Amino acid sequence: MPTITFDKKRLVKLIGRSLKDRELEEIINSLKSNVEEISENEIKVELTADRSDMFVLEGFARSLRNFIGLNSPEIKIYDSKILVRQEEVPVRPYIACAIVKNVELEDEVIKGLMNSQEILHETIGRGRRKVAIGLHDFDKIEGEIWYKGVSRNERFIPLGESEEMSLIDVLAKTEKGKKYGGLIINANKWPVFVDDKGIFSFPPILNSERTKITENTKNIFIDVTGTDKNAVKQAMNILVLMFGEMGCKIEGVRIKGRKEIFTPDWIEVPIEIGKKKIEKFLGERFSDEELKNLLKKMGYKIILEKEKIVAIAPPYRFDVFSEIDVLEDIAIAYGYNSFVPELPNVFTKGELLEIEKISDEIRELLVGFSFQEIVRPTLTNEEVQFKKMMVEGEAIKIKNPVSELYTQTRIWLLPTLMDFLSKNTKEPYPQRIFEIGNVVLPDKKSENRAKEIRKVAAAIAANGSFFAEMKRIVLEIAKRLKVNIEFKDDKHASFIEGRFVRIYSAGEEIGFFGEINPQVLENFKVYIPVAALEMKISESNP
Amino acid sequence: MKKIKEGRIEEVDNEVLKILIQRKLVEKVSYSHLEELKGKEITVLSSDLIKSGYWREVKIKKYSADIPPNEIFPGKIHPYIKIIKEVKEFLIGLGFKEVKGPFVEINFWNCDALFMPSDHPAREIHDIFFIDGEGEVKEKEIWKNVKKMHEKKWGYWDEDLAKKLILRSQCTAVSVRCLAKIRKLPVKIFTIDRVFRPDVVDAKHFIEFEQCEGIVADENLNFKHLLGYLKEIAKVFGGEEVKFKPSYFPFTEPSVEMYVKIGDLGWVEAGGAGIFREEVTKPFNINVPVLAWGLGIGRLAMLKLGIEDIRYLYSIDLKWLREV
């Protein structure tokens, strides 16, 4: 969801009707986007990822203009008869080209162009990987145009430089080269556009100084290259929309590779929908006239038939490919708040999960024993979970952690409680805390290679002996779990020797309790005795 | 026994008394130590004083209301858990059944089954925690159908990426697992559970948080019903008015955002919803509309608790927990 700042004055001028800020905001918010800020000169909008045609000012204005019922000019593609010869360039196999005639490039228009180009590079282009766009002064291009892969030692004068450089030097020495060089560096042949005078474009890195756009440029040659055919087409059609809205004449180009194609691929998308389907899906009946107006508001043309309609989406709407997309646009045009919400007469019985019911019972029990509940993250780290507890173990590790505090899943709850106590040593004692939560252990046999266990852990930090009370609480929890338990003295590095007991039910260990080893207390800087218990409530697999 | 009860102990035979004491039917107590308290002022009243009747003979010291209280900390359920429980009960009242899914997910269920293309920006390492290894999707037919759908509509599908293990980044993964289990209509389910995101922790972001999501699947559901359920669910926020706004989620269309008007706060975003795209439901052989909704449970809790920092919901501050 990109956030884009538009020039408010240019926007209003393009729409063709003066609108108050409040009106603008309402229209924009009715079209999926969200207005974040409106100032005197600018308007900051969060756009949804599907409406890439609205990422550029001209496309944004067109959608708004249509929505308020004004007419938008039809954008046509003429044939320039120009031929671009395409060789195979495996690192960027897809291209589209076009020529824009009669441009008037005032300073602010050039600025807007550069801005839109960058937005398209970042969004559809995914940082120029999928798509890169080059704009050139068409009148500076001479003779035959070729797209081909060349050696890294070929030379040209890149944009902003005064000397010829080899392509490898462009990667090594220019700012853009350093930033985007990684996209092609491993390829044998690097992509370039050449004319009779040599290289004039080196996508996805830099254009040439020779063909650069200036305020005197009258005609523009567009090159779009990329690794994704659909994204290349999408970027090109948004550029066509942009220049078309500016009133320029757009000419297509033949591209002759293994096959000959014509770009831009500016084709409307017709979608048929039965009228019954519209009524069934939206729960509202619309007349032909209404449907016509609603779809026009969203930029469609429409053919009305007896039982069905054909909605024709403009060539820049890449989010429209099935019935449902048209149905949504009808709903948007009608206004979500114009529908009267309805509750269907569906009877179902609601129910809480068993594991949650038991968890709640144990929660209430522990509150009765004066424990404060805590809620902490499932993610923890090696230090807290193993080292400070003086044990070893295997957790599920995250490959891309963002903080050293959260690098793996917890496999037991007690370290969470110890960590909590260690952060509250200034707070009056006794401190009685508990948590009910999930631990996640590796489990090769499960489909997700993990095992999740719902557990409860409680701790008492206070002067005095609470071993016996812990045992009482364990017995009470067992009652709620409806299990018979047995106790067995054992050893555990986190606990004082002779003060650690394992809890068994039907031969399976389901928990333990005891008094924490003073060395562990020291590790956590908790200078008061702690008695603790941990028990399994339930196990779950996907 | 009657004589003992009436206090005529002198009239009972000594041998009989012995047997009664042995059988624990009678207890021998002596109150002679209380004798010395007669006429004196005492601080603490005892059970002996009451049983023996000596309480009549002593003076009980007066307390002052100025005494500082002991520091006793009551046990309490975590405030966030309480709110979650309220929401659960509310949803159960609306006929929704609770379900769960695993924290460690297979990418397939978190993204691919939701028709998110393999190169969707929200699938990158900035948005999802990855774990070493591959999972296994046992629902082979669904796997195949999803593969076909991606190849048909997006033109490609990264099978290896779909197998990767992750920590689930959205509870829609739970809803979509439920689609695989639908046998009988209507279905109304919900889940309130953790999701994980590699965000830098600040007042608005935590690496883990709760999401509340649900679906309704039945014949003849339409867009108005989606709004109807949303309006009903929004009531949990206690707002006076609800309004809807078009939005975009990769797996639903139409997609809706819901806002609730709450007193001085004005319009507050309460959740998002939509109707699952056919590209999502078809691979599961589901041919009826599936309404999917999500409720901003963290936001709801923060509003109710009057806090502006999400970290309090997972607070490590005992003082705050004791006071809140």
Question: What is the nearest CA distance from A323 to chain B, expressed in angstroms?
Answer: 10
pLDDT per residue over B204-246, tens digit each?
899 999 999 999 999 999 999 999 999 999 889 887 789 999 9
3-state SS class at A430: coil
CATH topology of domain A3-67: Phenylalanyl-tRNA Synthetase; Chain B, domain 1 (3.30.56)
Q: Chain B: residue nearest A279 by CA?
A: B222
B76: nearest CB among A373, A400, A403: A373
Q: What is the pLDDT of residue B2?
A: 74
| Nearest by Cα to B259 from B280, B286, B288, B230 | B230
Q: Chain B: residue nearest A327 by CA?
A: B254
CATH topology of domain A354-540: BirA Bifunctional Protein; domain 2 (3.30.930)
- DSSP string of A333-373? HH-GGGS-----------B--HHHHHHHHHHHHHHHTTPEE
Q: Considering only CB atoms, which chain A residues are within 8 Å of B99?
A: 353
Q: What is the pLDDT of residue B265?
A: 84
Q: Considering only CB atoms, which chain B residues are within 8 Å of A428?
A: 71, 73
CA distances from A326 to A179, A238, B150, B188 (A): 40, 20, 21, 27
Cβ of B99 within 8 Å of Cβ of A353? The answer is yes
Angle between helices A354-368 and B79-93 (to 10 degrees): 140
Q: ipTM value, please give it.
A: 0.89
Q: Chain A: residue nearest B82 by CA?
A: A360
Angle between helices A107-122 and A57-67 (to 10 degrees): 90
Cβ of A542 within 8 Å of Cβ of B102? The answer is yes
Q: Considering only CB atoms, which chain A residues are within 8 Å of B133?
A: 449
Contacts of A416 (CB under 8 A, 6+ apart): A374, A376, A380, A384, A410, A435, A437, A457
The model's confidence at residue B36, banded by pLDDT at 50, 70 and 90, is: confident
Consecutive H or E run containing A245: helix A229-245
Q: What is the pLDDT of residue A1?
A: 77
Cβ of B188 within 8 Å of Cβ of A346? The answer is yes
Give the separation between CA B209 and CA A276, rounded to whole angstroms.
42
Q: Chain A: residue nearest B216 by CA?
A: A346
Say whether A354-540 and A77-263 share the same fold. no
**Helical ranges in A246-353 per DSSP H:** 275-282, 288-297, 323-334
pLDDT per residue over A38-52, tens digit each?
999 999 999 999 999
Contact, A394 vs A530, CB < 8 A? Answer: no
The model's confidence at residue B7, banded by pLDDT at 50, 70 and 90, is: low
Interface mutation vs chain A, best among B248, B267, B314, B317, most A CBs within 10 Å: B248
Q: Considering only CB atoms, which chain A residues are within 8 Å of B277?
A: 324
Cβ of B103 within 8 Å of Cβ of A29? The answer is no
10 Å Cβ neighbour count for B2? 7
User: What domains lie within chain B, and their CATH numbers?
Assistant: 2-60 (no CATH), 79-323 (3.30.930.10)
Per-10-residue mean pLDDT, chain A, length 542? 92 93 94 94 94 96 96 95 96 97 90 93 94 97 96 96 95 95 96 97 96 94 96 97 95 95 96 97 96 97 96 96 95 97 90 96 97 98 98 97 97 98 96 97 95 97 95 97 96 97 96 98 98 93 58
A440: nearest CB among B103, B135, B253: B103
| C-alpha dihedral (A201, A205, A209, A210), degrees to nearest 10 | 0
A77-263 CATH:
3.50.40.10
The model's confidence at residue B23, banded by pLDDT at 50, 70 and 90, is: confident
Cβ of A352 within 8 Å of Cβ of B92? The answer is yes
Q: Considering only CB atoms, which chain B residues are within 8 Å of A366?
A: 75
User: What ranges make up the beta strands (E) of A151-235?
Assistant: 155-156, 165-166, 190-195, 198-202, 206-207, 220-226
Q: Considering only CB atoms, which chain A residues are within 8 Å of B319?
A: 424, 427
Q: What is the pLDDT of residue B11?
A: 77
Q: What is the pLDDT of residue A541?
A: 61
- A/B interface, count of CB pairs below 8 Å: 250
pLDDT per residue over A51-79, tens digit each?
999 999 999 999 999 999 999 999 999 99
Q: Where are the domains of chain A?
A: 3-67, 77-263, 269-338, 354-540
Q: What is the pLDDT of residue B262?
A: 87
Q: What is the pLDDT of residue B22?
A: 82
CATH topology of domain A269-338: Phenylalanyl-tRNA Synthetase; Chain B, domain 1 (3.30.56)
pLDDT per residue over A256-287, tens digit each?
999 999 999 999 999 999 999 999 999 999 99
Q: Considering only CB atoms, which chain A residues are within 8 Å of B253?
A: 324-325, 327-328
What length is written for chain B? 324
